[in-house]
Each structure stands twice: as C-alpha cells, then as structure tokens.
Chains A and B, each alone.
Chain A
Amino acid sequence: MSVYILRRLALAVLTVLGISLVTFGILHLTGDPARLILGELASEQALDAFRRENGLKDPLAIQYARFIGRAVRGDFGISLRYRVPVLQLFLERVPATLELGGAAFLIAVVFGIPIGVLSALRQNSRLDYLVRLLVLLGQAVPGFYLGILLIMLFGVQLHWFPTGGRGTLNHLVLPAFALSLGLMALLIRFTRSSVLDVLRQDYIRTARAKGLREPVVIAGHALRNALIPVSTILGLQVASLLSGAVVTETVFSWPGIGRFTVQAITARDFPIIQTTVLILSSIIVLANLIVDLLYASLDPRIKIS
C-alpha cells in the first residue's frame, strides 16, 4: 500500500511539474515575453531594460528553475495591472469560487444520485424516459447559455433571485444551479447505469433468493456496490467543475477566480494567467490523487501492488 501511495505521489509531482513546464513554455518559447508584456509599441531600450531586470537574458533552463523555485515559495510575481503580488489577489478570490463550486457539487450529488438510482429501479418507466431526456438535454446545453436563460427567467421575469453578484444565499442559487447541471446530468447517467449493472449480478439474485426484503437488497447490497464507481468520477469532475466555474462566474458576475482569470486575459496580465492555471491544475491533480487512494480503500477487490 505504501509503495502504491509513493508511486502515485511521484506521478502527481511529475504531472504538476509537466503543467508548470507548459505554463512556463507557452509564455517563453512561443514568443518574446518582454514584447508580450510591454506591448507592440515598446521601444528597443525599454525591452532591453525589462529583459535585464527580469532575468530574461539567462538560459531558459535557469529561468525555468527560477520560476519553479519562486513558485514553491509562493512567489508568483507581481500583477502587471494591480501592482500587488499575484498570490494575494488569488487568495482573496478563493473563498468565492469554493463557495460556488461547493454548492454546485452538493446540488449535483444531492439530486443526481437519488434521481439516478430511482431511474434505474424504475427502468423503462415514464419517469425513466423523462430523466433520460433531461440528461441528454443537460449535457447538450452550454452552461453559460443555461445561465443566461436562468437569469432571464428567474431574475428578470419572476424576480425570485438576483441576477448577479455575491452576497446572500439568494445570490448563490442561480449560479450554483447553472454550474451543477452538467455534473448532475453526468451523475444521473452514471449512477443509473451502475445500479442497473449491479442489479444483474449474481449476489443480488442470491440476496433475493435467500428471502431478503427488496429495500434491504437495494440499500444493503446493490447501492453500496453501485456507488463505488460513481465516487471515482466525482473526483475526476473537479476539473470540469473548475473549468465550468470560469464561464459561470463570468455570466453571473461572481467575484471568484474564474472571472478574475478572464479579466486578466482581457488586460493581458500574464503573471495572473500563469498563476491561476498552475494552481488550479495542481488542485485538480491533488483531487485525482485523493480519489485514486479513496477508491483503493473503498473497494477491497482492488489489489494494490
């Protein structure tokens, strides 16, 4: 077990290093960072001074080592626009994104899994068809378009919820729902097929044959096994939830990391773009690692060598 954990940890570190190489490389290998940062109109002298000041004349390997060295110490550079450390700006916006992402995750799990189970238990019923139709739609509607429709219906027409911004619980409802829909659709589909799969297994027949009542068979035998694969995709979906947050935050003017990143792109604030990509990717790698380890301890059939 400990060898497995060490190997997965090493792989995670390697992945994060790879990601840092990509974020570093995009800025340094494909163009002249001094010109990218100072703009097309900067004079040769200004460019030269900037390069000397920021060590851009050193070999790339040294520059990369310096970038990593600073990042490990939490130094991600100074924002070009705000003139304060990027990490500080980033941390100020973390709670908002956590709140939105957490709420969306919760909504998706609380509704997605029971609906998926119900749909499987009533396979080919009218309810099942309706659920499957909604799942197909939920996976086809772009999240940001759904957000716009929600704002127009519940914000502008019905005045039930505010149309944007962060503050009360009411502000959270629409963006959290918009963000959760994709994950919810996926969860419903996955739970449904997983439960259907388990219900066909021999041990379910055995459980029924020995006279257990149906609720006991379902809750005690079927669901426990059916939900193991579901739990693994939950971890993998942290990535798409974070990606979705970028768009959802923009639509709902939610003051989190996603909107911050999009604004940084418009302002061509490169240190911010690099930092958010690096940190968020690392979070995703960490989430995947945790899920892998949890999976191994949830299902005793998975042998770890």
Chain B
Amino acid sequence: MTTRTSASPTRLAATLAPPREITVFERRRRAFWRRPMNRLSLGIVGLIVLLALLPVNWLRHDPTLVNLSLYLKPGFWAGNFEYPLGTDFLGRDLLDRLIFATRYTLTITLMAEGLSTLIGLVLGMMAGYYGHWVDTVISRLVDLQLAFPVILLAIAVVGLLGGSFLNLIIVLAITGWAGTTRVIRGTTMTIRNQDFIEAARAVGVKNTRILFGHILPNVVSSVVILSTFGLARILLTESALSFLGLGVTPPQATWGGMIGDGRNNLYEALWISAIPGTAITLTVLAFNFIGDGLRDAFDPFSSDQ
C-alpha cells in the first residue's frame, strides 16, 4: 500500500518538502497513532482504567449487596434502566459488579505482569550479559518453566495454598517470566557484542552500570511490547483460574469469577456470564492490538517508515 502513488497535490507537496526533524519518539508515536484500531484499543483500555479508578461509593448500588427480590432481572434490553445490565442470582446489579470487578481484574493483571516483567528483564539481561554458568543456570530454569503447564502450576499452587489476592498475583507472575527472559537474553547478547559496550568496558565502567545504564535503555522497547502481550495472556489465565473457583475470595470479584457465577443460571440468564465474557474478550483484543501496533511502530523496517 506504500507504493500506490497519489495525485493529490497536497500530498505531493508534503513529499517534496524537506523532511522536518522529528524525534524517534515522535515518529513512533505517529506510526502508532495512524492506525484506527490502535486508537480504538487505547480508548478501550483507557476506559477500563477509568472504571477501575471509580470510587465504589460513586456506584449507584452496592455491588456486594444481596437482594433476592431482584433475582435474575434482565437489563436494558427488557426496558430495565435502573439495572441496565440486569442482576445476578443474588440480585446484585451487574453493571456495578462489572465495574467493581474491573479494579480487581486490572490490579491483579497489572501487578502480576509487572512482577513477571521485572523478573524476566533482570534474569534475561544477566543471562545475556554474563554468559557462562549464569546463562546456563537461567536458561535451564527457563526450560523448566516452559515445560510446566501454566494452568496446572497455578492450580497446584492455589489449590494447595488457597486462593488469595497475593497468591494469585505471584502464581500468575511465575507463569509469565520465562518468555520475557528468553527474548531479553537474546537481545542483550546482540547488544553486548557492540562497540559501545566494549568501549564502556575499556574505560572501566562497572558491570551493573553497563547493565542498567547502557543495555537497559536498548531493551526497553522489547520489554514494552512483550509486556503488552503479557497483559492479555495473564488476563486470560486469571479469568480461567477465577472461573474454576481458584481466584480471589468473595465478596471480591474478577470478570472470570463473574462468568463462573453465571454458570448455574445460563438457561434463564445468559447475560450474567456473557457480559463479563465480552469484557474479557474486548480487553484482550485491545491489549493484543496495542502490542501489534507498538511492535510495528518500534520496528525500523516497518513498511510505513
């Protein structure tokens, strides 16, 4: 699509004009912003973050309040605007519950991904930079982790230790670090062999300073892209665990747990599961689109440059 020539005079003028100096960041930002799907995805994620930040007492109903007289009431599609997304089997407002669950879902996902990225980044840089036995040990650990079925590991840990907010974050973080380590290790190895690292070492810069001052800035873009996809993956794993009843303890709730809540009433009230299910799907799609968009924007060989 880049080779198509346009007769539009303004565009012709733009191509003929001397290129204005723009920063690398600005070029990447523009490359990312050009795609409508990227803008839409960013909007969806922004909206979800806003919902998560909404104070609970701003909600119209108490998301944990049980009111059995409101058992399985359909929402706006049946003209019910007091409870626009309907109510669940305990008569709880699903819109407010969805918003309430957003903060747990998002907090767990973000913290687990943050932790997993941190572990993956540090181990990956160490393996790639130091090589030798450090690399061997870390790489074997990665192999070990990748051979472990994620859900089973999580089930084993949560099943044996019990589900709690913290356990869930740790387990999810453990499931994600290995992939990051592998990629960062490879990137670090290429950077390590470049002249500027050699020069830094020659003038006596300490290893830690080289790692965090010289190598880290060069792997940041990979980390950002990897962790965006990681968010999507962890959100999916978290929802599967919560669906199986291994998530946070009630009255705390996450989207996956809400789908599980609706399982016994699928016939009368499919919306209880369908609403959080749609929320998960949309959010994962948004994360994946942003990840793709970032990858294209960061790629110097991308077709749009």
Contact = CB atoms under 8 A, between A and B. Distances in A.
A144 B259 contact: yes
Nearest to A276: B152
A262 B263 CA distance: 16
A149 B278 CA distance: 11
Interface stretch (B156-164, B180-188, B220-228): B156-164
Contacts of B246: 265
B111 interface: no
A232 to B, nearest CB: 13
Contact of A19 (B144, B243, B263): B144
A277 B240 contact: no
Interface in B37-69: none
Interface string A141-160: 11111001101100010000
Interface in A124-149: 136-137, 139-145, 148-149
Given A144-B240, A148-B259, A246-B152, A273 B147 contact: no
A151 B263 CA distance: 11
A196 interface: no
A139 B243 contact: no
A106 B14 CA distance: 53
Contacts of B288: 136, 139-140
A281 B270 contact: no
Interface stretch (A25-33, A97-105, A208-216): A25-33
A30 B240 contact: no
B140 interface: yes
A185 to B, nearest CB: 11
B149 A145 contact: no
Interface residues of B, number: 42
A46 interface: no
Given A26-B157, A270-B160, A140 B281 contact: yes
Given A30-B161, A145-B277, A262-B155, A140 B149 contact: no
A11 B142 CA distance: 12
A243 B147 contact: no
B155 A239 contact: no
A112 to B, nearest CB: 18
B240 A143 contact: yes
Given A14-B140, A261-B155, A284 B243 contact: no
Q: Classify the interface of chain A: helix, strand, loop or mixed.
A: helix
B245 interface: yes
Contacts of B273: 145, 148
A145 B144 contact: no
A242 interface: yes
A23 B266 contact: no
A221 to B, nearest CB: 26
Contacts of A31: 161
Nearest to A283: B149
Given A136-B285, A239-B147, A148 B266 contact: yes
B152 to A, nearest CB: 5
Top 7 A-B pairs ranked by shortest CB distance?
A243-B151, A265-B159, A145-B277, A140-B284, A140-B285, A277-B156, A18-B144
22 contacts: A15-B143, A18-B144, A27-B160, A36-B160, A137-B281, A140-B288, A142-B243, A145-B280, A148-B263, A148-B273, A149-B274, A151-B266, A236-B146, A247-B240, A250-B244, A261-B152, A264-B159, A265-B246, A273-B155, A276-B152, A277-B155, A280-B152
Given A265-B159, A281-B147, 4 more contacts: A22-B148, A142-B243, A239-B146, A265-B158
